[in-house]
Each structure stands twice: as C-alpha cells, then as structure tokens.
Structure 1
Amino acid sequence: MFNASWKKITSLEEKGLTASAQKEVETVMAMAAKNQDAPQEIKAIIYLMKYRNMVEEDAMVKNIRWVDSLLTGKKAPVKNVLQSILADMYNQYFQMNRYRLMNRGRAQVEDSLDIQTWSANALIEKAAILFQSSLENSKNLQQISIRDWEPILITGQNSRNLRPSLYDFLAFRAFDFFQDEVSGISRPAEKVLIREDGAFAAAPAFAQITFPQNRPDAFHQQALMIIQELIRFHLNDKEPDALLDADLSRLDFVRRVAVITDKEKKYEQALLDIEQRYQRHPSAARARSLRAGIYIERGRKYHPSNNPAPQFELRKALELCDETIRLYPGTEGAKACQNLKADILNPGLNLSTEQVNIPEQPFRTYLKYQNITKLYVRVIPVSKAEWQKLEEKNYELRWSEMSRLRPTREWQIDLPNLSDYQEHAIEFKNDALPAGMYIQLVSRNPDFSPGNNVMASQLIQVSSIAYINDQKNLHYIIHRETGKPLGGAILSVWNQEYNYQTRSREEKLYGRFTADDDGKVMISGLPKNRAYSIDIKWKKEELFGMNQEYATYYNSYEPSGKSSRTFFFTDRSIYRPGQTVYVKGIVIDTDRQDRSLRKNHQTSIQLLDANGQKAGQLQVTTNAFGSFQGSFVLPENQLTGQFSILDSSNQSSVSIQVEEYKRPAFFVSIDKPAAAYRMNDSITVKGKAMAYAGNSISNAQVTYRVIRKSVMPLWRPYDSFAGAWKGMPWHTEEAEVANGQSVTDATGNFDILFKAIPDESIPQSAEPVFHYEVIADVTDMNGETRSNQIMIPVSWHMFAIRIDIPEQAHPDSIPKTRIFTRNLQDTHIPAKLTLGIYALESPGRFVRTRYWDAPDQFIMGKEDFIRHFPHDPYQQEDNPVQWKQGEKIFELTDSSKIDGQFNIPARSWKDGWYVLKAVSTDNNGMKLSSEKIIRVRGGKTLLATDAHESLLQNQEALPGEYAQHSIQTSFDEVWVLYGMVRPVNDSSVVLRQIKKDKSLLVPIAVSEKDRGGISASYAFMKFNRLFSGTEYLPVKWSNKDLKVSVETYRDKTLPGSQEEWTISIKGPKADQQAA
C-alpha cells in the first residue's frame, strides 16, 4: 500500500529535496495512523526525526519533545514501540552530554519540559521508566510477529528465529539498557543483588526461581526479571533458537555482574549443560564458542613466571573450535569459532633494542613472538636523512621501501616452538657494528615482502657519544662506555620550521657549539619554548638526537619571581541550599623559598556555582596577619553540586559541596572481632544502631551481606628488588559468601553470622589472606537507612612471621634482628621459630638492569652469553630474589617474644648477600614461613654487584653545622657530575673523577639561608648506563616552631557562667608570639 510513497520519498531524498520528502512522509504517517498500520506509522515517525536532525539545531531535544507528545492517545503496539524509541533517545542524550552532566546535581525544581536542565539521574530514571512501560501488555506483544515490523528493522541472518515476536525485540532493547553498568553510573552499586546460585541454573529451573525484589528500581534486578520473562515465554517453543539466545544472554549477564562463589566454574558448567542438552541443534555451537572464549580469556592471563598455570588454555580453545567447526559447519557458532581460531593463530612480532649501542661491541635484541617458528633478520645502514624520509611515508609504503633497502648483514633464527600459541620472548645476539645508524628489520618470510607477512623494525644508533642535560640548556657530552668527558665535541642545534610551499617540516641549522675540556656545552640565544633537536659529532662518530627538546629560560639557580596564594578554610565541606558558608583565608607571598604574609591586601572573593557562574562576591582586606574572613548565603532553587570559592587576585580556590541532604537521625557502628579466625570458621560480627540523641534504635530492619573482596599475600615477603609480591600469581574474583536480614534488639544491637568460605582455586600452600567485607544497612521505623562496613582479614594460618632488619645491613645489626609472630589483628602469638641464614650466590659481577622484561626462552647458552655480554643478565641475575641459595651460615631455634628479640649471637659476617628464613608451625599443624633478603657490608670495599653507593652522613642539620656526602663506586673509574640545590644560592655543577675504592667526599656547610633543605644531585655514565641520584638534607625551620596550647575555664560556683577559652602561642624559646 505504501511502497509507491516510499519510492517517491527515496527519489526526493536522492535529489536533495528534503522539504518535499518531509511533506510526503507526513502524508504517509497520517494515512498509516488512520489505517492503524503501526509499522508504517513508526517508520514515518523515524523518517521525520531524521529530517529534523538534518536541518534544525537542538534536533535531539526537539525530537524528544515531539515523540513524547505523540504518546498521548496512542495505543499498543504503537505506544510500546514509541516508548522504547523515546527511552533510547533519553539514554543517547545522556551519553552525548555525560561529560557536562556528571558534576551537575539535581535541581530543586527540574523543568519537566526542558530536559537540558535535567540531571543525569533524572534522564536515566526517565529512560528506565519508559523502557519498563514499553513492555506493558506483554501477552499482546508476544502475539505480534516480528515479520509484520520488518519495514522498520535491519534484519540479520536467523534474526527472525532469534526475535520471533515484537515482545522479543522490545524486551531485548530494555535488557540491553538495564544490564549496562554505564547507564546506572549515577546510581548505587547493584550487582550485589544477583547473588543466588540459581542464576546459573538450567533454563527450566531458572524460569521458576523467585528472585528477591527488595529494590525494584535496581537496574541489574530489572535486567534479570526481563531475561527471566523471555526465557519463560520461549520454554515450550518447538525450535529452541529464541530460548537459547535468551538463555546464553542471561548466562553472560549473570557471569559479568553476579557476586557468587565460583561463578566462573558455574558459568562453564552451564554452557556444558546446554551443549549436551542441545547437542544435535545448531545453537549448541554458540555455547561451544562461548566456552572456547572462556579458555581464551584464561590463556591470555598466562605469564611465564607470575602465572604459568594457563599456558595451554589457548591450545584447549583451539581444539574445541576445530571440533565445533567440524561438527556444526556453517552455523553462527562455527563462524564465531573461526574468528576465535584466527585470533589464537594470529602471528605477532615485537622488537626492542637499546636506542644507542656501543661501536665494535655485540649487542642484544629483545624479541617477543607468537605463532612463529623461524625468523629472518636484516641490519640495514641508513643516514639520518634517509630515515626521516621513510618516516614521512605512509604505513604500507614505508614497509615496502624498507624491505627493498640493501642490508649489511642478514641471518635467520630458529625460534623455540612450545605449541601453546602463547607469546614468548628471547634475546638474540647482534654482531658488533661500526658507528652509524641502522634499521633492524625482522620478518616471518625470507623475502621480506610486506604482503601476507609479519614484520617488525627498530631504529638503532651505534655511537660512543652520550650527553646529559639539565633544565637550562646546559649539556655535558660524555663517552657512553667510560663516562669520560668528550672535550672538543661539536653540538649542532636544529630548529624545525614548516615550509608552506612544500607542505612539510624542514630542519634549519641554528648554530654549532664546541664542548670545553669538561664536555660542557651551553646553548644560548634560543627562542623561548622553541622546539629544537641536536646532533653531536666527536672524531668520526655522530649521535643524532631523534627526540625534540625545548628551549627554556627556567633556571633552578635564578629567582623565579614572586607568586601569591590564598589558603581557604570553610566551616564545613558540605552544605544545603540557603545555608551560610563561613570562610576564612590567609594570603601568602612566595619568593623562591622565602614566604611572607600579605598584609593590607584588597581582593575580591567570589562564590561560583556548579556551572561556574558567579553566585556571590565579597570585597575583603587582609589584616596584619594576612588573613580575612567573610560569609556567603548559598542560593536556593538552583542546581546543586560542586561550588567553589575563588580569590580573583591569584585564582586560588577551594571547593565545597552543595546538596539537598537530610541530616541523619542515627548511625550504625560495627565492632571488629578481636579474635583471629581461620578459613571455614564461623564468624560473629556485632553491630549497633544508635540515635545521635543518645537513644538506641530498636526493631530496625538490618540487611547485611558479606563479600570476599580480595586476596593479599601478607604471608609472603614483598620483593623490593623486583617490585612485586613473591610467589603470588593468583587472582581472586569478588564473591558474596553470605547475606540475610535481622532486627535490632531493644538496645539497638544486632549480630551477623557468616562462614569464612575460601577461594578454592588458591592452594593453602600459598598462605593467602582473604578480606571479607561485612556491609550492614539498617532501616528504622521512619524509613531512614544508614550503613556501615568493616573489613575482616582471614587466613588458613593462626599468625604471620615478619622479619625486621634493614635491607642494607651492617654486620653489627644482624644480632639486632627482630622476628615477630602476630595474627591478623596484630596481636602477639607466642611460637617456636627456627631461623636459618643462608648465603646467596650472587653473579660475582656487575649486572646492568634490562630495559625490557626477562625472556622466558633462550637460544644462547649461558657461558656463551656472558662471554659476549659480561654486564648483562642471562636470566634474572639482576634480581637477588632469583639468586641461588648457598650454604647455611647460621641456624637458631627459639621462642618468639612480644618485642621481637631473637637472641642472635654476635659473630663475624662476610660482606655479601644473605637470605634470612624463619619457619614455624601453628597450633593446627599448619606450616608457615617468611624470608628477608639483605645485603651485608662492613668493609670499605663495595661488592662486585654494586655500581656505586651514595651516603649522606647526617639525617638533618641546623645552621652553623656541617654535613658530609660521600659517593663510592666499584668501577675502576667514573666521572661524576655533581651539584647542589639550595634555597637561595645554588652551587654550580662540577665534574669529579672517582677511582675504585676511593670515595668522593663533599663537605656541606649549612647556613641560615639553607633553611628548608639542601639537595645534592649526581650523575655519571658507565657501560652505556646512566647512574644518578639525589640526597636530601633537611634543614628545619626551628626558629619558627610554635607550640599551641588550649585551656578552658568555667566558674562552677556561679550559675549561668560561660566557659572561657584561652589559646596560648609560644615560640621555640618559650616566648609569647602574636598570630
């Protein structure tokens, strides 16, 4: 009936006659409404909204108003579809304007017509109501075939079987909205509502479950109700397509949001049940593809050292996909498996080298690879100009041209193949190269053709030149291997300018500068904040600075000018509209380290509302103490949210919150259990509800839940050398282990009882500690709800062992080692301990830190590797935690004491690395242990593993005193750049030479001008590594120490007497001070 009209409309649109097309659509809409042709009427409405979007401003707002006006008088199914469309429009408006809405509070009177004034909550709540309303008259909607609505639908393969009715179509739109956590971002957390194991039950059983509806407005609860109704609707379908689609959507949703113990296992088992129940139906393939996805997720968490368990999960997924493709060819599930298979088998290469390597020395390349067994390598010499031209080309052309460049060397590498489809890493050797610039190119194919290939490249410079620069355009040019200054080196400075004729950036030489005998070059005269790059030439070598630097006139040795700041103080942090905000401020002037009060300063203090508009203003003048005070009355009937108070003279500000909140009538307290508990113990938590007036809240409804939140490796030592917890690769999901309701007694007390259920996926041998969050919501007879929560740590063991000794220890400090045995409540538990001290077998050589992760596969033998790379780790020799344990040096069994003393006798200790291991057994027969790695040094010589040592012999100093800074190295010779930063006059940077076993001793004379502190910084280069550090010497403002005391007095013999408060302020010499 309407085909001719729509053809005419399409023709008008193609000719750009939008107005004519709109009139034709209006005719179709009127005719469809008259004939009660719901699909055509909805299609016409959609077209009219499209035209408005094309020609009008604020089209979405106008469309929302228009569609809302159309609802009046409409009947099902047109009304249901319009409600769904309108709900989605409200949600889209929120998503598009979310960045503006999230800091906007709810207005006291929201304009029901102008949605541009609405809060985020109001928009989302409106969308939720409309989505719920779109599912009314569900029985009628279920009888309407989706085929009747194809004029407004974009259909996919098998979509009619998956969404056979209009109800399916509308219900899934609502389900998608309610399951989306982003939609409910401004609402309370709701995933705790889905905590019943039945959420993973088979479809027939799930359809019969009555889920609690204690919060019917909760989004996740609404989503669960919708999907449950869909499953009920399709339970008796002849073809299970729609049922399985809804059921799999349900399982995925529950898996994401439920707080249920072992939900991953339950999800996997639910998929297996579907596969078995419908193994002869094509839809079973989709369940199999989802199960393969589980294995892929696990496999992606594989790490060769931190999490090796899921190494072969990808292979398991691949086998399942291959079987699914074979058993269910051509199905959606088989197609999904094809995509998963392609993802598993996708090859990958990633290349890393040090940016600059030393000439005529072999160097390493770090290669990460996946699904590749043979690698082809080329090293290609290039000039700086050639590389810059390559960078300007597009991606495909750049690879094509690189593959055609002539290499100076090429070879191939057989990569270890573990058949696990995981990413692995190796280091391979590059033979020594002369100074220059090179591209390292690696390829899966021997011809290096970009088509159907996997390639990676890395730009490498080979040069002895290095430089250190500071923030004032000062550069020190040094030797990359020895650290010696390179006097006579020439530094060229290049500016980048845009050539409008060639439409490209060009480098122009700004100037050349020659380094003095100390390698120092000062670049002067550069335009401020102008980008530049540098090249350095020394003898026949060059170093090209590939990264831009910026010229600046900031100088830590020069005054930076005065600045002013206002420190605000308000009487509260949160207010209600109409309340008075009392504000005080102190204005401080800062001139480098010198600070002073700003007296008699006139300024304007402004109150800004949630939209940044001025809502009030004060003119104030600071007093003799640099302070002022004033007050603002907050506006009413405006948007609430974050307000701010601003000093217009220096832009200092403070934020306050303005909300329509209700003053609480009572509070909830929860007592933390004093006893220590073990896993699977029953734990009783006591709480109390008390009114602020002092009376108990009796007969109040208590709703509680207990969530196992996390696992913390408190029993394992923190590896400060590697920056990680040792031996803890496991991760635990949050799970709700208990929930229920109770009632407060006559005294306001209530009890919560739960069992400390562990995560069985983490073995007891790992000695984990689980945290159980107990949350209690108490609602009194007036409907007011108050909440509180506590965290209770629980473990398998009755106590933990902690060894207390510095990591850098003197031999005399070993007898002072303290060993504590305490439970999770930090209470001493007496225990018998055995302490063993073992030597660690260090590499016996200095080992550089890698710039990348350690490889997990090796293609070179250890001896061969060390011969070529004497300063690099083969495996993890740079981490003492990975060193082999040597002979036992000492052992003692004794009882732990409350103060930790362990009676280790004095003895001689060789300088070196040791591990202290303490073991014990608790009353339940559970073994536990702790260890601590220490470096012992008592002699004057550094260990071979030490690069250097920096010691400040004073913890703090006062004016008139002296301090001393010493730097020592284990290298034969280093050249150190040294400088001090003082509050007023900084010392210049100097170059000092340090020989092995000889210390650089720097005396530091502290003067009155040094109050605030002195920083001593140093830097040197050795073996292509920069070593640097800063020592800070605190110089306290002891002359400004104030002691403040408060006294109160009231004459109790005089009725009605007022309390007097006296505040006394005294200086460091007990003299009275004015403030």
Structure 2
Amino acid sequence: LANVDLQRLGYLRAFVQGEDFTEPYQVALARMAETYKTLPISSTFLARLAEAKRLTEPVAALALAREAEARFPKSRGAARARALRAEIERPELVFSAADIVVPGQPWRLDLTARNVAELHAWAYRITLREWEKAGSGNYDERNRPVAQRFARALKATPAATWAVPVPAQPADYKEQKFAAAGPPLPAGYYLVLLSNQAQLATGAAAPAGATTAYAVVGASELSAVSRPKPGEKATSLLVLHRQSGAALAGVGAQAAYSHYDQTARKPLVRQGAPLATSATGEVGLPAPFETSSASEQFDAVRIWRGTDTLLLKNLAGNDYQLVDSQPQRRTFLFTDRAIYRPGQTVYFKGILAQSQAARATLLTGQLVRVRLLDVNGQTVQTLTFTTSSYGSFNGSLVLPAGLLNGEMSLQTDNGSLSFAVEDYKRPTFLVTLDSVPGRPQLGQPLALAGRARAYAGQATDGATVKYRITRRELWPMFSEYSRYGQSIYPPGGGRGSQEIAHGTTTTDAEGRFKLAFTPPAGPSQPGRRGWEPGYLFEITADVTDAAGETRTGTRNVVIGRNPLNLQLTGPERIDQQHLPTLTLLGTNATGELLPATGTLRLLARRYRPS
C-alpha cells in the first residue's frame, strides 16, 4: 500500500500543472512519511519531500535528507537523500570578466558562489592563440581538462596571485552574487583561476570539497570599431585607445580571410598584407576575394603597437550590401480584399518598377501579363495590360465556381500576391468585451461587461452567453536584449492554462451581459531574483443568437502582485551632452491609463569596447 501511495503521488507530481499542487504535494509526503515511519519506504517519502523543498528551502531540505539517512541508512530512500545532501552541501563557483581589460588598471570580476567561505586567485600568462581558442564560444575538440589544455602555462610562475574577499553570508546553502577587483596586469593574455583552496590543484589532484573555475582575460590599450564601406565589401577600421578613446596613428593591422576549400574539404585562412593606421587612426581593409568557385569572408583582424597585440573578430564588414550590377524588375500587386467567395469579383492593381544601384524608377508602356493560379498552382485565366505613364495598371476578374477552395494567387513575371477563397458566411453580429477600469487585484472580485450587437446597429437581445475563464502563469523574462524589453510579462510566455470559472448567462434588451469572477492568487513563491509571477486571465464569451449563429469575444487581463504597470521609453543611444526626454507610462493590468508618482533613477553601466 505504501508503494502504491508513492507511485500515486509521483504520477500527480508529473502531470498536474500549476503552483496550487506544490503545497498539497508536500503535505501528503509528510503525512505518508509519518504513517509509514516503521517501514524503510518512509525514507523515500522524506527524500522526495526534501527534493521538493530543495530550491525554496534548502536548509529544511538538508534537515529532511539527514533524517531520511538516519531513519533507515541502507534503504533506497537513504541513498537518494544522501545524494541530495551532497548536492546541497557541494561548493560551487562561477565567475566572468571582460574579454579585454585596460593594462595597469584594476579590473572587475563578477562572481556567483555557493557554500564558499574563502577564494584565492592566480593569473598565468598564455599566448594569443591559447586565448583565442579558450574564448567565448570556442571549445576544446578533445575535451581536455584545464590542467592539460594549459599545462605549459601552469608550469610557469603566475604573473599575479591574490585573495578574493567573500562577503559574509549565513549558512543558507543559497547562491550569492558579488563583485571583486583583479590586480593591474601588464599588456598580454592570461589564464585566471579561482579556487576555494589556498593551494591550486585541479583534476584528480584536487582535495575533497575543492571547487575551481577559470576564464581567460586579455589586457590591451588597443580597441577598434569597424564599419563597411557603402557599396563595397571593404571595411574601414578605426583604432582607438581603450581608456582615453583617442585615435591611434601608426598601429599595425593585418586582416585574415577564410574560405572553404572544396578539394581539401576544410576551411583555409589567407593572411592579408600588413597595413598601418593613418594620422586619424583609420585603416582600410581590402575586400575579400570572390570567385565562381569560392567566396572569402573576413575571419579576423590583428592589430598591434609594440608588444601590445589585439585580435578582432566579427567585423561589421561581413554585413556589406552589394550594389546591383544588373537592373531588377519587380511588380507590386494589390487587391481590394484578402478573402473572397467563389464567383466574387477580384479588383486588383499593380505597379511595375525597376531598381539599380539603390535607385528605383517606374516603367511605363510595358506589357504585363497577369495570371490567376488556383490552389494547385494551375493557370486558370490570363489577362494582359500595358502600364500607364505612372507605371501602373489595374483590372478585375471573376473567380470561377467549382474549383477547390483555399489559397489562390495573382502572378506576373516579377511578382505575385496570394489571397484566400472560401465559402464563408458573413457574420451578422459581433461580440465585444469591455476593458477593466481601475486597478484589478488578485483575490478581489472583478466584474467585466460585454455586448452583442448586430452590424446593422440593433442589439442582439435574448442571446445565450457561455463564458469560460482560464489562468496562465507568467514569469518575468525582462532582458536588455529582449524584444519585449519594456514588458515584464511578455506575450506568449508562461506555463499551461488552468480553468478557474465557467458559466452561462443571457444578453439583456440592449445586448449587454456581465461576467464576474475572483482572480485567485497563488502562494507567494519569489524566484531567484525576487521576482514573482504574474497571471494572464483569458475571458472567452461565446454568444448564440435565436438563429443559431455563434460569435466569440475574448479579453486578456494580466494581473500581478502589483496592480500598476510602468513602461519607460526612450532612445537606446543618447548624447550625454543633450539628454533626450524619457516617457514614463502608467497603466493598469488591461492597459488603461493610470496616474502614478514615484522616483526615477538613472544608473550608469560600464561600457566594454571590443
């Protein structure tokens, strides 16, 4: 019976969605562990309960794991609890730094650590080639550990050693994020290792409880920006001092070009001629070669001044735009509608233009043949036109009956346009759901009004309204690189939906109806950054009139713990000498404008040039 209960809870855990199941699941595990405490399987219930609390309550999870081990040490549950305890107590360390830092200046390390009380750091000199291979996005083909990959560098004396201060934190077994400073480094490239042990040891030589992380860092006074030359494959490179931003003259530059050799079946790299920057810090990089059998691309550019060398990747010259060597014709087609019924007339218009060297001209007096294609791509009808003095033509045709419905198209030699053909019934009325005024809140009753009205203007009274309300959980996905950078809860995100209410009502003499429900608030479970989920409530109302026609209206309402949404808009790049106007918009969950007062802070972030 205990094993059946365990399997039943496991099945529910795997298939029941939503945070509402978390608390009952944990209560059931605790109850079963107490009910079967005289049996070895009780350790499995305790281990499962510890796993459920692992992320939110690691201290409680560790206590449960230890209890499961002590109850029946040789049981399967004890083994599972032992593995969980080792995972909770295991030290973890991750850090990152800028790819290139300023020589002779302290630099920043961003660290994430867990179960770490002290940290020690070492910096070893490596070659430019080793730095390039170990950089972002590059992996060792043989999957060697760091001690083998950098064996030569680790045999030498470290260029710098230092202790990294770790902020004091209670033993809560949670991650802590903090920043630390690295010591000034001469120009060059370095392997930086961090460990919680005073003596550096990696691989099998590392003692129990040791954790080590590494990254590669370069130090150079050089930086550069690039841009493609308009209409060419060539690239213009501007070399600047990394700290002052001053243009640097006389800096050497050499481009490398890559292409795939079909005969050798491998990529080959060709080194360009050495060049030097002008008095303004600029240098023009020759365009890659292009033949019928091979096409080169910029692979990298190496710039140097004395012993200071910098390797540049991902140049903007790869995004060049070719100038049209031959004139290109294009026909722009337009129709009066996007969907038709069989037998209806399609009214269309077209414009014929020709582009060359980024300039477009209208073509007049040209013969144009327009073909109607059915859903199988077969020509049904062909019409011939001559363009006017404005390069345009227009006409009409009747869609034949008896053909397959679907997507048909108008086609010319230089353009096409698709449209739908369906035996659809024109709707006689529409259903709308009003917006929600004020500030809707979780756990508070919410009333929503709707209306069914004929397109002729009269009310659709006495109609049956069947409504359904579902809820979907949305977690914050804010990111500076996200296309939804202004929205905490982007559309389309979140978990599966859950029905929270449904019912039936009727429209009154004015075609109006009202829906009321209480948006339930789930338990407060902040995420790793302290953010809490929001909820998308989708209200769907199906209205059926006396003639049996059914139309649907929907309304989405997003409600979070805070009923006020703020959106800050402004340009991505600004001139610090001429600060632009920033726009702050306050809305409620449904997008209705709301007045709000508060404090706006402008924070500076350090710019890291490539």
Q: Same fold (TM over 0.5)?
A: yes
| 1:438 maps to which of 165, 180, 190 | 190
**Residue 227 of structure 2 aligns to which amino acid in structure 1?**
D
Q: What is the aligned partner in structure 1 of residue 201 from structure 2? A: 448
Structure 1 residues 438 and 250: CA distance shift in structure 2, 3 A: closer
Q: What is the aligned partner in structure 2 of residue 532 from structure 1? A: 299
**Residue 431 of structure 1 aligns to which amino acid in structure 2?**
P
Superposition pairs for residues 905-924 of structure 1, below 5 Å?
A: none
**CA shift for structure 1 position 511:** 0.6
**CA shift for structure 1 position 742:** 2.5
Q: What is the aligned partner in structure 2 of residue 786 from structure 1? A: 551
| 1:463 maps to which of 198, 207, 220 | 220
Root mean square deviation of aligned Cα: 5.3
**Residue 437 of structure 1 aligns to which amino acid in structure 2?**
Y
Structure 1 residues 373 and 801: CA distance shift in structure 2, 3 A: closer
Q: What is the aligned partner in structure 1 of residue 309 from structure 2? A: 542
Q: What is the aligned partner in structure 1 of residue 275 from structure 2? A: 513
Q: CA-to-partner distance for each residue in 1:876-913, whole Å, 9 max, x for gaps?
A: xxxxxxxxxxxxxxxxxxxxxxxx9xxxxxxxxxxxxx
| 1:351 maps to which of 78, 91, 95 | 95
**CA shift for structure 1 position 271:** 4.3
**Residue 400 of structure 1 aligns to which amino acid in structure 2?**
Q
Report if aligned partners of 2:445, 2:518 keep a CA contact under 8 Å in 1: yes
In structure 1, the residue corresponding to 2:274 is in which secondary structure? strand
Distance in 2 between residues matched to 1:339 and 1:333, nearest whole Å: 10
**CA shift for structure 1 position 760:** 6.5
Do residues 625 (structure 1) and 390 (structure 2) align? yes
**CA shift for structure 1 position 532:** 3.0
Q: CA-to-partner distance for each residue in 1:247-270, whole Å, 9 max, x for gaps?
A: 5413542334xxx9x454444444
Distance in 2 between residues matched to 1:609 and 1:376, nearest whole Å: 73
| 1:401 maps to which of 127, 149, 171 | 149
TM-score, length of structure 1 as denominator length: 0.44
Q: CA-to-partner distance for each residue in 1:425-476, whole Å, 9 max, x for gaps?
A: 3333322222222222334553432336754332222221222211131112
Superposition pairs for residues 1036-1075 of structure 1, below 5 Å?
A: none
In structure 1, the residue corresponding to 2:272 is in which secondary structure? strand
| 2:253 maps to which of 475, 491, 495 | 491
Q: What is the aligned partner in structure 2 of residue 982 from structure 1? A: none
Report if aligned partners of 1:676, 1:794 keep a CA contact under 8 Å in 2: no
The worse-fitting range, judged by mean Cα deviation, of 573-582 and 521-530 is 573-582
In structure 2, the residue corresponding to 1:742 is in which secondary structure? strand
Q: What is the aligned partner in structure 2 of residue 426 from structure 1? A: 178
Distance in 1 between residues matched to 2:555 and 2:145, nearest whole Å: 61
In structure 2, the residue corresponding to 1:394 is in which secondary structure? coil
Superposition pairs for residues 358-437 of structure 1, below 5 Å?
A: 358-387=102-131, 393-396=141-144, 399-403=147-151, 405=153, 406=156, 407-413=158-164, 415-416=166-167, 418-437=170-189
Distance in 1 between residues matched to 2:403 and 2:174, nearest whole Å: 60
| 1:931 maps to which of 573, 591, 598 | 598
Do residues 775 (structure 1) and 534 (structure 2) align? no
Greater helix proportion: 1
**Residue 110 of structure 2 aligns to which amino acid in structure 1?**
Y
Q: CA-to-partner distance for each residue in 1:140-190, whole Å, 9 max, x for gaps?
A: xxxxxxxxxxxxxxxxxxxxxxxxxxxxxxxxxxxxxxxxxxxxxxxxxxx
Report if aligned partners of 2:189, 2:216 keep a CA contact under 8 Å in 1: yes
Structure 1 residues 516 and 626: CA distance shift in structure 2, 3 A: same
Distance in 2 between residues matched to 1:770 and 1:525, nearest whole Å: 53
Report if aligned partners of 1:644, 1:653 keep a CA contact under 8 Å in 2: yes
Do residues 597 (structure 1) and 362 (structure 2) align? yes
Report if aligned partners of 2:17, 2:496 keep a CA contact under 8 Å in 1: no
Q: What is the aligned partner in structure 2 of residue 64 from structure 1? A: none
Distance in 2 between residues matched to 1:580 and 1:744, nearest whole Å: 38
In structure 1, the residue corresponding to 2:253 is in which secondary structure? strand
Q: CA-to-partner distance for each residue in 1:212-253, whole Å, 9 max, x for gaps?
A: xxxxxxxxxxxxxxxxxxxxxxxxxxx353454245413542
**Residue 450 of structure 1 aligns to which amino acid in structure 2?**
G
**Residue 143 of structure 2 aligns to which amino acid in structure 1?**
Y
Report if aligned partners of 1:775, 1:790 keep a CA contact under 8 Å in 2: yes
**Residue 381 of structure 1 aligns to which amino acid in structure 2?**
R
In structure 2, the residue corresponding to 1:315 is in which secondary structure? helix
In structure 1, the residue corresponding to 2:53 is in which secondary structure? helix
Structure 2 residue runs without a partner (length 5+):
230-234, 291-295, 489-493, 575-581
Report if aligned partners of 1:580, 1:634 keep a CA contact under 8 Å in 2: no
Report if aligned partners of 2:250, 2:279 keep a CA contact under 8 Å in 1: yes
Q: CA-to-partner distance for each residue in 1:758-807, whole Å, 9 max, x for gaps?
A: 556399xx99998754322234567654321235688999999999999x
Distance in 1 between residues matched to 2:48 and 2:421, nearest whole Å: 48
Distance in 2 between residues matched to 1:395 and 1:601, nearest whole Å: 64
Report if aligned partners of 1:644, 1:655 keep a CA contact under 8 Å in 2: yes
Q: CA-to-partner distance for each residue in 1:341-370, whole Å, 9 max, x for gaps?
A: 455445443332222222222322223233
Distance in 1 between residues matched to 2:568 and 2:253, nearest whole Å: 53
Report if aligned partners of 2:202, 2:212 keep a CA contact under 8 Å in 1: no
Q: Which has the higher contact order (CA 8 A, sep 6+)?
A: 2
Distance in 2 between residues matched to 1:933 and 1:501, nearest whole Å: 62
In structure 2, the residue corresponding to 1:320 is in which secondary structure? helix
Distance in 2 between residues matched to 1:321 and 1:371, nearest whole Å: 17
Q: What is the aligned partner in structure 2 of residue 1065 from structure 1? A: none
Do residues 741 (structure 1) and 504 (structure 2) align? yes
Report if aligned partners of 1:570, 1:582 keep a CA contact under 8 Å in 2: yes
Structure 1 residues 316 and 656: CA distance shift in structure 2, 3 A: farther
Query: How many residue pairs are counted as aligned between the two chains?
Result: 563
Q: CA-to-partner distance for each residue in 1:496-516, whole Å, 9 max, x for gaps?
A: 467999987665432111222
Distance in 2 between residues matched to 1:342 and 1:639, nearest whole Å: 64
Q: What is the aligned partner in structure 2 of residue 179 from structure 1? A: none
Report if aligned partners of 1:767, 1:797 keep a CA contact under 8 Å in 2: no
In structure 2, the residue corresponding to 1:396 is in which secondary structure? coil
Q: What is the aligned partner in structure 2 of residue 180 from structure 1? A: none
Q: CA-to-partner distance for each residue in 1:722-769, whole Å, 9 max, x for gaps?
A: x7799xxxx999765533222445765433233455556399xx9999
**Residue 246 of structure 2 aligns to which amino acid in structure 1?**
K
**Residue 396 of structure 1 aligns to which amino acid in structure 2?**
R
Do residues 522 (structure 1) and 284 (structure 2) align? yes
Structure 1 residues 577 and 272: CA distance shift in structure 2, 3 A: farther
In structure 2, the residue corresponding to 1:625 is in which secondary structure? coil
Q: What is the aligned partner in structure 2 of residue 885 from structure 1? A: none
**CA shift for structure 1 position 584:** 3.1
In structure 2, the residue corresponding to 1:400 is in which secondary structure? helix
Greater strand proportion: 2
Superposition pairs for residues 582-981 of structure 1, below 5 Å?
A: 582-590=347-355, 594-603=359-368, 613=377, 618=382, 620-621=384-385, 622-628=387-393, 629-631=395-397, 633=399, 640=406, 647-649=412-414, 652-657=415-420, 663-664=426-427, 666-672=429-435, 682-690=445-453, 700-707=463-470, 736-744=499-507, 748-755=511-518, 757-758=520-521, 761=524, 773-780=538-545, 784-791=549-556, 930-933=597-600
Distance in 2 between residues matched to 1:538 and 1:696, nearest whole Å: 81
Q: What is the aligned partner in structure 1 of residue 232 from structure 2? A: none
Structure 1 residues 318 and 539: CA distance shift in structure 2, 3 A: same
Q: CA-to-partner distance for each residue in 1:375-423, whole Å, 9 max, x for gaps?
A: 4432221223455677665122554231552233334546445433333
**CA shift for structure 1 position 479:** 1.6
Q: CA-to-partner distance for each residue in 1:11-46, whole Å, 9 max, x for gaps?
A: xxxxxxxxxxxxxxxxxxxxxxxxxxxxxxxxxxxx
**CA shift for structure 1 position 491:** 0.9
The worse-fitting range, judged by mean Cα deviation, of 418-427 and 785-794 is 785-794
Q: CA-to-partner distance for each residue in 1:545-568, whole Å, 9 max, x for gaps?
A: 3x2548669479x88875554443
Distance in 1 between residues matched to 2:82 and 2:402, nearest whole Å: 61
Do residues 315 (structure 1) and 72 (structure 2) align? no
Distance in 2 between residues matched to 1:768 and 1:252, nearest whole Å: 21
